[in-house]
């Protein structure tokens, strides 16, 4: 290991500790412990180009241990991204470019928002799937157009999370050889020793999942770390490099959990400086360090990027068709303009909205070659699958991702695919089990990613399977999550519109679409234009209405029948279909007032928790208890979702 490595690592350790102490907040433990890992990765391996932050074939670096943000910001600063020393000095402050945890879309060079442990590893699996698929599609002899690595830095906590087991198990099965996880193995976590909670043999566990495993005993030895990364690059399997480090290396309380997340007192920073014999002024990277990064990250990375551009140019001459398609993928230049052949439905016909969802998705997949995804072992129920067969080592061009019963990883992987660029990722499961993956939808929403989450079995009408399978509060959960568009379409027209809209380019939010298990009538009054406005009037009585019933999903047909019965009794009620509260809330006030007039008394009807509807309605007919196992034909009566019962409830509570 050369003296310049030592100088760089010392600088990262001291400046990192100083920045955190100055911020009075942050995590010095990982910065001091893992500095040699990221230094080695960046200066000897990672191919990134600060000239072209979004270079398509850059290596992806995923800081799954998001609490190590200070380390990442320093790396990006030294690697030529537009993060100044002033930005670093503003660490974790209001409005800074260097917030508490890495935020995608906020700080240049940050590949993904991390902080919730485990999400990073799982999304990295998605990045690796995307890289492998695109490589199989576009690479030609002598032209490795997509052949980057996905590197992860994770800690003990990341690996304790269930999502990591799900994701790593799938990555091993799929043989994602370009995925390299660098494990900052320091035997310490927030509350104390890892041994207080873990006894398993990580090496055997990881190997049994189909991974290559390499151990580096001395986490301060950059040469050893580098050799391990080299070996990982040549593996035919995903690789975990477990690197033994000492948390808070050089701090008086190194090796203890107290150094994990508390800024070091000034005296401790002084001791650190003394321990490392570091004499530069405060908050200063010496010129030698800057020069080293300039040559070994910036120039090296830019040169690799330039070569790639030349190679793509030659490819464009040799492989004209492929090049054109590559550009379409890279710039997401796909739009469904010609909708001929899209399944259509006669008014009065009946079909479950999950069947419609599956058919529309198949249609979209057959026309948009960049769409990839699948289900969590529920394809037969959700009807959601990708095209071109099952993706895997035997069929790297398959677009049907069989996630297995791994919902949480599935959703985070979908985020990783979407983040990668070039592909549109989707996934699917039973709506009630969206609980298992909610944190990943939240990540998509925070990152403004257009990931797609399709669910079936969206109400208690699931029936026989009972309360564990009958969603109640899940609709509320997604509607309450900022920046999530939840669509609950009523019939084939609404479902088709919602699906087509979800695949439009340019959305800066994830879309969740729910569908019904049971068949519903396809209505003459539903309209695609109304769907994308979030809510619209579907029924007006023959005389001016003074009431509105607002509803969505499969309850729309019921509410129409209720409105007709009310009309027969000289009570005049509009019916509003509201497939998306998110989109409706974004409409101009004038439109909102026209759909839900201020002088109307409003009743909302939905087979789910009542809570979200009070924003719009005076009275809500919903279900605020768990479901019960019984055939569907008993469900409607049990919960009062029949025409007569809703009619009576209207008369007794609204009129
Ligand atoms: C899902 C989740 N749970 C809890 C936390 C809070 N947290 C952040 S770091 C950490 C300890 C993780 O230990 P380790 O990965 O070993 O990090 P180290 O202390 O070695 O830096 C915890 C509990 C979190 N960020 N995400
Ligand atoms: Mg640890």
Which residue in this structure is represented by tokens 């054109």? 324
Dihedral, CA of residue 126, residue 127, residue 128 and residue 131, to nearest 10: 120
The 10s digit of each residue's pLDDT in 361-413 is 999 999 999 999 999 999 999 999 999 999 999 999 999 999 999 999 999 99
Mean pLDDT by 10 residues, the chain (655 residues): 94 98 98 98 97 96 98 98 98 98 98 98 98 98 97 98 98 98 98 96 98 98 98 98 98 97 97 97 98 98 97 98 95 88 94 97 96 95 95 97 98 98 97 98 98 97 94 98 98 98 96 96 97 98 97 98 98 98 98 98 98 98 97 95 98 95
Closest among 580, 543, 537 to 560, alpha carbons compared: 537
The domain covering 350-521 belongs, at the CATH homologous superfamily level, to Thiamin diphosphate (ThDP)-binding fold, Pyr/PP domains (3.40.50.970)
Atom of ligand 1 nearest to the CA of 160: 15
Q: Whose CA is nearest to atom 19 of ligand 1?
A: 189
What distance lies between CA 650 and its chain's CA centroid?
41
For residue 1, give the H/E element and its range: none
pLDDT, residue 337, reads 85
DSSP state of 457: -
End-to-end Cα separation, the chain, in angstroms:
82
CA 159 / ligand 1 centre spacing (Å): 10
**CATH number assigned to the domain covering 535-653:** 3.40.50.920
* Nearest ligand to residue 28 Cα: 1
Instruction: Quote the crossing angle between the two packed helices 300-318 and 320-330, to the nearest 10°.
Output: 130
Atom of ligand 1 nearest to the CA of 116: 26
**Over the range 602-626, which residues count as b (16 or more CB within 10 Å of their CB) and which as e?**
bbbbbbbbbebbeebbebbbbbeee
CA 34 / ligand 2 centre spacing (Å): 10
* Residue 18 is a catalytic residue: no
How far CA 288 is from CA of 3, 284, 285, in Å, comes to 11, 11, 8
Are 68 and 31 in contact by the 8 Å Cβ rule? The answer is yes
Are 334 and 490 in contact by the 8 Å Cβ rule? The answer is no
Are 434 and 481 in contact by the 8 Å Cβ rule? The answer is no
pLDDT, residue 525, reads 97
pLDDT, residue 332, reads 85
Residue extents of the structural domains in the chain: 3-304, 350-521, 535-653
CA 8 / ligand 1 centre spacing (Å): 26
**CATH number assigned to the domain covering 3-304:** 3.40.50.970
* Nearest ligand to residue 67 Cα: 1
For residue 182, give both structure tokens. 């660098």
Q: Which residues line ligand 1 (CB under 6 A)?
A: 29-30, 65, 67, 115-117, 155-158, 186, 188-190, 247, 260
Pick from 16, 29, 31, 189 the residue to mutate for probing ligand 1's pocket: most ligand atoms within 8 Å of its CB. 189
Q: How many CB atoms lie within 10 A of CB 147?
A: 16
* Nearest ligand to residue 33 Cα: 1
pLDDT, residue 373, reads 98
How far CA 613 is from CA of 25, 552, 650, in Å, comes to 40, 11, 16
- Pairing of the two strands 452-456 and 485-487: unpaired
Phi, psi of 425 (to 5 degrees): -95, 140
For residue 335, give both structure tokens. 């739009």
Q: Please, is 497 exposed, middle or buried when counting C-beta atoms within 10 Å of its C-beta (0-12, 13-18, 19+)?
A: buried
pLDDT, residue 340, reads 93
Q: Whose CA is nearest to atom 25 of ligand 1?
A: 116
**Over the range 49-78, which residues count as b (16 or more CB within 10 Å of their CB) and which as e?**
bbeeeebbbbbbbbbbbbbbbbbbbbbbbb
The 10s digit of each residue's pLDDT in 233-267 is 999 999 999 999 999 999 999 999 999 999 999 99
CA 260 / ligand 1 centre spacing (Å): 9
CA 69 / ligand 2 centre spacing (Å): 15
Q: Whose CA is nearest to atom 23 of ligand 1?
A: 190
Question: Ramachandran region of residue 539, left (φ > 0), alpha (ψ -120 to 50) or beta?
Answer: beta
Which residue in this structure is represented by tokens 């040549």? 234
pLDDT, residue 1, reads 75
User: Edge-to-edge strand order for the sheet containing 371-375?
Assistant: 371-375, 424-430, 452-456, 511-514, 485-487
Q: How many CB atoms lie within 10 A of CB 168?
A: 26
DSSP state of 138: H
Topology alike, domains 350-521 and 535-653: yes
Closest among 300, 301, 325 to 312, alpha carbons compared: 325
Q: According to DSSP H, which parts of 187-318 are helical?
A: 202-208, 222-233, 266-276, 287-293, 300-318
Q: Which residue among the candidates 407, 494, 521, 555 is catalytic per the annotation? A: 407
Q: Whose CA is nearest to atom 22 of ligand 1?
A: 190
Radius of gyration of the chain (CA): 27
The 10s digit of each residue's pLDDT in 472-505 is 999 999 999 999 999 999 999 999 999 999 999 9
């Amino acid at each position: 290991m050369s003296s310049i490595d030592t100088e760089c690592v010392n600088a990262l350790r001291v400046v990192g500790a100083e920045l955190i102490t100055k911020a009075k907040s942050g995590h010095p433990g990982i910065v001091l412990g893992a500095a040699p890992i990221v230094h080695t990765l960046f200066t000897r391996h990672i191919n990134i180009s600060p000239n072209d932050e979004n270079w398509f074939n850059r290596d992806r670096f995923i800081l799954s241990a998001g609490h190590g943000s200070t380390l990442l910001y320093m790396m990006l600063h030294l690697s030529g991204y537009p993060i100044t020393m002033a930005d670093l000095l503003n660490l974790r402050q209001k409005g800074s470019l260097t917030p508490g945890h890495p935020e995608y879309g906020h700080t240049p060079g940050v590949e993904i928002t991390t902080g919730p442990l485990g999400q990073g590893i799982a999304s990295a699996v998605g990045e690796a799937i995307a890289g492998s698929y695109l490589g199989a599609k576009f690479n030609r002899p002598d032209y490795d157009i997509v052949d980057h690595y996905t590197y992860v830095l994770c800690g003990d906590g990341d690996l304790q999370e269930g999502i990591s087991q799900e994701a790593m198990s799938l990555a091993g099965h799929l043989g994602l050889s370009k995925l390299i996880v660098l494990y900052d193995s320091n035997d310490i976590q927030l509350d104390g020793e890892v041994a207080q909670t873990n006894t398993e043999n990580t090496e055997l566990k990881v190997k049994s999942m189909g991974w290559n495993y390499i151990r580096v005993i001395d986490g301060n030895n950059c040469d050893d770390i580098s050799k391990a990364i080299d070996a990982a690059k040549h593996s035919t399997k995903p690789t975990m490099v477990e690197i033994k480090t000492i948390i808070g290396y050089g701090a008086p309380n190194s090796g203890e959990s107290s150094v994990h997340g508390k800024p070091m007192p000034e005296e401790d920073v002084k001791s650190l400086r003394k321990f490392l014999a570091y004499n530069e002024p405060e908050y200063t990277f010496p010129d030698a360090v800057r020069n080293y990064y300039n040559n070994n990250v910036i120039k090296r990375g830019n040169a690799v990027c330039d070569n790639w551009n030349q190679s793509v140019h030659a490819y464009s001459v040799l492989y004209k068709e492929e090049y054109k398609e590559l550009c379409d993928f890279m710039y997401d230049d796909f739009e469904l303009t010609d909708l001929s052949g899209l399944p259509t439905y006669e008014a009065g016909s009946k079909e479950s909205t999950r069947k419609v969802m599956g058919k529309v998705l198949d249609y979209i997949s057959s026309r948009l070659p960049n769409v990839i995804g699948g289900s969590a072992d529920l394809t037969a129920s959700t009807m959601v699958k990708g095209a071109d067969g099952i993706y895997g080592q035997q069929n790297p061009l398959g677009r049907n991702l069989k996630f297995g019963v791994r919902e949480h990883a599935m959703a985070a992987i979908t985020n990783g695919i979407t983040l990668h660029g070039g592909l549109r990722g989707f996934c699917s499961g039973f709506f009630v089990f969206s609980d298992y993956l909610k944190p990943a939808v939240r990540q998509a929403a925070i990152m403004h990613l257009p990931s797609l989450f399709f669910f079936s079995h969206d109400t208690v009408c699931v029936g026989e399977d009972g309360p564990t399978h009958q969603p109640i509060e899940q609709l509320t959960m997604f509607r309450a999550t900022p920046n999530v568009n939840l669509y609950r379409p009523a019939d084939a027209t609404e479902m088709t519109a919602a699906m087509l809209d979800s695949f439009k380019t340019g959305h800066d939010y994830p879309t969740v679409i729910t569908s019904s298990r049971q068949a519903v009538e396809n209505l003459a009054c539903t309209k695609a234009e109304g769907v994308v406005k979030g809510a619209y009037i579907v029924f007006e009585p023959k005389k001016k209405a003074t009431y509105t019933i607002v509803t969505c999903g499969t309850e729309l047909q019921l509410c129409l029948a209720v409105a007709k019965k009310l009309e027969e009794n000289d009570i005049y009620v509009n019916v509003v279909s509201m497939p998306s509260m998110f989109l409706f809330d974004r409409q101009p006030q004038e439109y909102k007032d026209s759909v839900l007039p201020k002088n109307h008394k409003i009743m909302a009807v939905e087979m789910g928790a009542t809570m979200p509807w009070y924003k719009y309605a005076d009275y809500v007919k919903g279900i605020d208890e768990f479901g019960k196992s019984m055939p569907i034909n008993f469900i409607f009566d049990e919960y009062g979702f029949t025409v007569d019962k809703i009619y009576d409830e209207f008369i007794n509570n609204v009129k």
